[in-house]
Structure 1
Amino acid sequence: MSTIETDLAAPPTDPPTTARHRMSLPSVKDVAASFVVFLVALPLCLGIAIASGAPPELGLITGIVGGIVVGFLAGSPLQVSGPAAGLAVIVYDLITKHGLETLGPVLMLAGVLQLGAGLLRWGGWFRGVSPAVVHGMLAGIGALIVLQQFHVLVDDSPLGTGLQNMAAIPGQFLGLTSDGAALQAAIVGVVTILGMVGWEKFKPASLRLVPGALVGVILGILTATAGGLGVKRIDLPSNIFAGVSLPGMDTFGTIADPTIIGLAIAIAFIASAETLLSAAAVDRMQDKVQTQYNRELGAQGVGNFICGVLGALPMTGVIVRSSANVQAGADTRASTIMHGMWLLAFVALLPAVLALVPTAALAGVLVVTGWKLIKFKDVRHLFNNYGILPALIWAATFVLVVTVDLLTGVIVGLALSMIELIPHFRRMRLKIEEQGHGEADHAVTLQGKATVLQVNRVTQLLDRLPARGRLKLDVSKLEFVDHTVSELITEALQRKKRSGLDVRLEGDGPNRHAKLAAAVA
């Protein structure tokens, strides 16, 4: 038996990617999937730009860059990148306080940070961010989007903070009886929401690939047009690239500003965490290819740097578009690249169509999108499987994101996640023994304490496991495993089982590793 003692400081490595996913000619499925993703991405690119307080064309530019550039470089070939609802809140705050012209320098620096992290092979460390923090952050972002977009639903402007938006909602309700324009916009928004939700719930099987967001926006357009409603519409320039100005020397001077540096670090961290969380979800949805996390992180850095140069919005890997890509049967990265080409062709040839879209319809799409981010089943899962502390971490992160700001919520959540380690801080050592590495029969013994402090070693081990054959995992000497590492191992074992690996758990102890046992049952 050989004992694998990887250096604790060594960066996590990436799993191999098959040659067919590096680059290949598009299949018929890729072409079809790319068009489906384009239909999903178009309203979201516009809506997220408006939610961010930016001109709608900037969202389209980010979608094009995310498709064509990041799609070509991505370490997660089936993941789709573009402007993300998860960053809309922080970008809105940035633009409100510092101006739109600040966004370019912030994104350029954030892109450099992401690219550097990818080159330094730090991507695996983001897999060690506590699931309680990540899901609490996303739920908080979802709540902020709903509170913010409620005001756009009535053709008004959102306020600065989540609490301000929440406090103003009753007044908006009361104002509908006296403000005809607000009532008309609300009708369009509600029709969009009902159409989107109803389609997702009752759509015919033969039309399952038609996205609900598209159906909702079309219904919103028809309602506003047929009713002759005087609602706000999307205002796009005839050439979306006409307003792009390359950065001058003054831009590089602002990068040294401590405020710019802080904002760049925040966007880089949140964008990276959301991207790699989405990539992990894409891995769970299909068995065609595994994510190369460091390459994906570097590709996102290149994409965000280019968006900064163009003055566009930040991007992440986005689970809504990515899941549509997988469900539509995409085979290779060609589908992601082509969806960017569809976006470019549409805005170049048919910009007049976008001028028909009411902003209230896009707000309706984002209300549904934000609500989907608030997953209370996540906190129930954490509580049922790991106890009260992870559930409280989720709750604290969620509440602080909504009531204070996103960065405070994440930092406090990360700090609270370390409390789980305090009783086990002495002799925090993990020993990994492997037998039959590279063979059909593989045996792994874990001894000691598996915590987020050893996440790089754990991810290296999981990436080395064979896709097929037999695996014996002995945890009889594993004294403690925190909820972050337990989730990592559980998801990896479930994915390996789907690909054909027969997993047998030995020595699960007195209910200590019930979650791991359930994963291989």
Structure 2
Amino acid sequence: MPTRTPARCARGDDDTVGTSRRDAHDEKRIRRRNRRVADFSASITVFLIALPLSLGIALTAGAPLQAGLVAAAIGGIVGGRLGGAPLQIGGPAAGLTVVTADLINVYGWRTTCALTVGAGVVQLVLGRLKVARSVLVVSPAIVHGMLAGIGVTIALAQLHIVLGGSPESSAVANIAALPSQLADPHPVALALSFVTVAVLLGWPWLRRLPGNTGRRLARIPGPLAAVGLATVLATATGVTATRVDLPSWRSHALPGLPEGPLLGLLAGLLTIAMVSGVQTLLSAVAMDKLTATRTGENQVPRADLDRELRGLGASNVVSGALGGLPVAGVAVRSSANVAAGVAVRSSANVAAGAVSRNSSILHGVWVLLAACLAVAVLERIPLAALAALVMVVGVQMVKVSHIRTVARHREALVYAGTFAGVVLLGVLEGAGIGIGVAVTVSLNRLTRTRITHESGDGVHLVRAHGQLTFLAVPRLSRALALVPEGSNAKVGLDGSFMDHAAFETLQEWRASQEARGGRVEVRGREGRRIAEPASSHTCSPWTPWRNHQCVRQHPGEHPAHTRQGQLLGGLRNFQRTTAPLVREELARLAAEGQRPSQLFLTCADSRLVTSMITSSGPGDLFTVRNIGNLVPLPGERTLDDSVAAAIEYAVEVLEVESITVCGHSGCGAMQALTTAGSTAADSALGRWLRHGAASVRRVTEQPGSAPRIPGRQSDALETLCLTNVVQQLEHLVAHPCVAQRVAEGRLELHGMYFHVGEAQTYVMDLRPRHSGGKECAPGTGTATVSGSVPESPAFLPVGPHAQLPGGGRLAGPVHEPYPHTTLRKV
């Protein structure tokens, strides 16, 4: 085959570089456009959900209806811009409805707005003090019980409006007035409410209908469909129904100076700050869980809770100053597409495909525009429809899954106490009752210790079930006194905690028994001896033997500095620390057999600890190690078929889904290949290293196509180590079983490089890309015109939360060079 001139090759390389840069620029522009489209679409979805909910929550709280729209707009714009959770949607929350309603009844609306501003200032200060994480120490049973109590209180109040009446001032009063309200319902309000509830609960089921019609309709948010249908029905029939009344913005009430007892005002301010803060921070944590599985360009940074608390504070300051409801961010899942307050908004924001905080900001802009331009449409909404919507929200705040969870963790009493306190007394009182019950339950668990004494075969057994604190010392002393002096005894501790008083009591009794000729053995929950060295080897994992400075040498044992002593010390450390942790998993693997999903082929170098750099455990990796991480080509004459046999076994028997070839820096095999006379050609090592000769030829003949690490110049040895990974991947795909699985799309091939000195892993993305009909000719690195061979693979950065090894799927046999290969840090 004729070769090209060096000048022409250089021009071809320049064209390739220019094309690659243009392609990269186009890809970046397309990604930005896709992100903008995704955020715009998500903002529309969230806006359609937020609009009816904001009006309904304002109605429930007894606030001006514009206050709900103000809070929704401010929560989206200010909270979205300043908050620390990018996909969090802020706005009026059902969890704050009861608190706000109580404050309005006692102090009036203008004072409530001032308290909202004060609560925002408190949240700003707490966010600046970086105490957001400490807020999450509140027991989940208290939070769930508080939300359930608020939900029941909301549902009881809205039930009166659904029946055509007016709610009372408290949940107890609403329960007392319910029989008379049920005896005289308003037919129109009841009918509109029934339609709203039926549509709201049945809307998600449209996805199960055959054909595309149901799925298309289901894209419309359930709250919008329910309220919209009730509004259309009321307008079309011309029935007399109380509707939304939005006063002119010119008469919109703004905050005034607080009036009332100082302690009461302070309690209200702190209640708003506490309830909205806890809900928002729990929401941010929930949003992290919802977006944790995203990969690639859709990844979202984890929430900065302190910044989120500051953003919430700023939102409440602005919302209160403009006459809006308190703002919170909530992300509780709901099976009926509606949840507490803005819960559905945050969840819908994720489900709709939002990728940045722009979706939240845009949603706030749409709410603001609707509040200014769509007043005539909003005033056609029946109040009964909004009441029915919020009533369903309240009912769904009582989640059976939460009750099961707290019951499973023996926190049902805390949940019940909080729930009853919120319903009967109020949110702040209920939270206080919940905290008191939680502390009482915890103290009871600390003191609930059962101590038993048994004897048999000349040995006395004292067993303590539970925590050993100073409160249990009298019972422990009585049980120990039952053991005769000088006799043999065993003490079993089944708890996880023993304070100083209990420890001293046990140690003094033990010393007294042993002084009188008895023998005492103290064991913990795992049957391990207490207060004795468990092993001669106590170093932390991954500590090299030469750095073991904590080896206790027992009489008769080999010295720690000898090879046998080091090996035995490592074995003892495994039996002491690791074996109890993996014994159950190994027993399962022994019974079920191995089913690894990965074949990991790497060098036998002792500095390369595969389980350490991959964080893998038993049964995860099917590992093949040899000198130089080499893969002999099929059909080559070799005295060792072990690598080919391992590949066939992994692919055909174990049916692995991925194969990774991992090289490393400072590889002795690669160094031997570049050093003349370092290895005898007729030796076993020399014959084996022949399988790496293709890598040397590749570097020599195609220097422009060598892989590289961005940001630094690789030396000759590192270049060969990197090239060898790519070359062995080509050898690997030449095996028939591998080529077949790759062609079927059932197997992925990955390249990986570990820099020993930096403890840094690099991964390669081998997805082939075409260059408009050009490809590199074999052995030249320049362009031809066949168009069937993949162009240079892309080497993409892999973040700390991405999946490893991070490479793409190798779509077919690769026997061509990979020019300009780049490696990125993990």
Equivalent-residue separation in structure 1 for 2:800 and 2:190 (angstroms):
48
Q: Per the alignment, in what secondary structure is the counterpart of residue 377 of structure 1?
A: helix
Distance 1:260 1:157, change over 3 A: same
In 2: Cα distance, 1:197 partner to 1:152 partner? 19
2:273 matched to 1:268?
yes
- Label 1:106 to 1:501 Cα distance change in 2 as closer, same or farther (>3 A): farther
Could you tell me the percent identity over the aligned residues?
39
Question: Which aligned pairs between 1:33-432 and structure 2 lie closer than 5 A?
Answer: 33-176=42-185, 182-203=186-207, 204-238=214-248, 240=249, 242-244=250-252, 247=255, 251=257, 254=259, 257-287=262-292, 288-318=300-330, 319-384=343-408, 386-387=409-410, 390-422=411-443, 423=446
Is the partner of 1:268 in helix, strand or coil? helix
CA distance 1:498–1:363, change in 2 (3 Å): farther
TM-score (norm 1): 0.74
Q: Per-residue CA shift, 1:356-391, capped at 9, x if unaligned?
A: 10010001110111111001221211222x22xx11
| Amino acid in structure 2 at the alignment position of 1:243 | S
Give how far 1:159 is off: 0.4
Distance in 2 of aligned mates of 1:501 and 1:90: 48
Preserved CA contact (<8 Å) 1:105 1:260: no
Moved more, 201-210 or 130-139: 201-210
Are residues 233 and 497 of structure 1, via their aligned partners in 2, closer, same or farther at CA, if it must alter by over 3 Å? farther
The AA in structure 1 aligned to 2:251 is G
Q: Verify the 8 A CA contact 2:151 2:395 in the aligned structure 1.
A: yes
Distance 1:208 1:428 in 2: 57
Report Cα offsets for 1:454-502 as digits up to 9, x if no partner: xxxxxxxxxxxxxx95389xxxxxxxxxxxxxxxxxxxxxxx9996599
Note closer, same or farther for the CA distance 1:497–1:106 as it changes in structure 2 (3 Å cut).
same
- Distance (whole Å) between structure 1 residues aligned to residue 44 and residue 380 of structure 2: 21
Say which one has the larger Rg.
2
Structure 1 residues 387-411: Cα deviation after superposition (integer angstroms, max 9, x where no partner): 2xx1111111111111121111111
- 2: CA distance between counterparts of 1:284 and 1:96? 38
- Give the 3 Å change call, closer, same or farther, for CA 377–236 of structure 1 in structure 2: same
> What SS is found at the alignment partner of 1:418?
helix
Name the CA distance, whole Å, in 1 between partners of 2:417 and 2:802: 37
Secondary structure of the structure 1 residue equivalent to 2:251: coil
Q: Quick check: 2:163–2:182 contact (8 Å CA) kept in 1?
A: no
Looking at both structures, which has the greater relative contact order when contacts are Cα pairs under 8 Å and sequence separation is at least 6?
A: 1
Task: Answer whether contact 1:217 1:361 (CA < 8 A) is retained.
Answer: yes
In structure 2, the CA distance between the partners of 1:395 and 1:71, relative to structure 1 (3 Å rule), is: same
2:713 aligned partner? none
* Mapped partners of 2:438, 2:403: distance in 1: 14
What is the deviation of 1:202? 2.8
Q: How far, CA to CA, are the matches of 1:207 and 1:276 in structure 2?
A: 33
- Provide the C-alpha distance between the structure 2 equivalents of 1:365 and 1:340, rounded to a whole number of angstroms: 21
Q: Give the structure-2-normalised TM-score.
A: 0.47
Cα 1:285/1:499, change in 2 over 3 Å? farther
1:470 aligns with 2:615: yes
For structure 1, list consecutive stretches of 5 or more residues without a partner in the other structure. Answer: 1-19, 177-181, 437-444, 446-467, 473-495, 503-521
Return closer, same or farther for 1:79/1:166 CA change in 2, 3 Å cut-off. same
Offset at 1:418?
2.0
Distance 1:225 1:165, change over 3 A: same
Deviations 1:137-185 (A, max 9, x none): 1111111111010112134221011111122222111102xxxxx2111
Letter paired with 1:30: D
- Please state how far the C-alpha of 1:227 moved relative to its aligned partner: 2.1
| Cα distance change on mapping 1:133 and 1:469 into 2, 3 Å | farther
Name the CA distance, whole Å, in 2 between partners of 1:356 and 1:57.
15
- Counterpart contact for 1:118–1:294, Cα < 8 Å: yes
Contact 1:133 1:414 in 2 (8 A): yes
Give the deviation of 1:63 after TM superposition: 0.6
- Deviation of residue 205 (structure 1)? 2.9
Note if contact 1:47-1:365 (Cα within 8 Å) is conserved in structure 2: yes
Once superposed, what is the RMSD of the aligned Cα atoms? 2.7
Give the Cα–Cα distance (whole angstroms) in 1 for the partners of residues 420 and 219 of structure 2: 35
- Could you tell me which residue of structure 2 aligns to residue 465 of structure 1? none
Note the C-alpha offset of 1:311. 2.2
Per-residue deviation, 1:102: 1.2
Q: Which runs of 5+ in 2 are unaligned?
A: 1-27, 208-213, 293-299, 331-342, 447-466, 471-496, 500-538, 543-576, 578-612, 618-798, 806-826
Q: 2:498 and 2:217 mapped to 1: Cα distance?
A: 53
Equivalent residues in 2 for 1:443-482, closer than 5 Å: 470=615
> Is the CA contact 1:109–1:261 (under 8 Å) kept in the aligned structure 2?
no
For 1:434 and 1:254, how far apart are their aligned partners in 2?
A: 63
Report the CA distance between 1:428 and its aligned residue: 9.1
- The structure with the greater share of residues assigned to helix is 1
Partner Cα distance (2:102, 2:315) in 1: 22
